Amino acid sequence: MLLPALALPARKVDVRVLPDLRLIPGGESIGVKLNTLGVLVVGYHLIHAENGEKSPGELAGVQVGDVITKKLIK
């Protein structure tokens, strides 16, 4: 099947829409001032998933000491 306006092939696919995910930096304030140009990664937090506890940051390759300066869109 071709789409008439673009002459592109069309096919049916199953789509699963995921909820919007927001990251809120947090933690305990200890009274230390750091001057960075972004968010300094100081540790990981585990979340409860269907197949056990996971750390999304660690799984994504974020390391302690990294400075996050902008959002990457893939």
What DSSP state is assigned to residue 58?
Answer: H
- Cα separation, 10 vs 63, in Å, equals 42
Residue-wise pLDDT tens digits, 5-61 = 566 666 788 888 888 877 777 777 677 677 778 888 888 888 888 888 888 888 889
Residue-wise pLDDT tens digits, 32-47 = 677 778 888 888 888 8
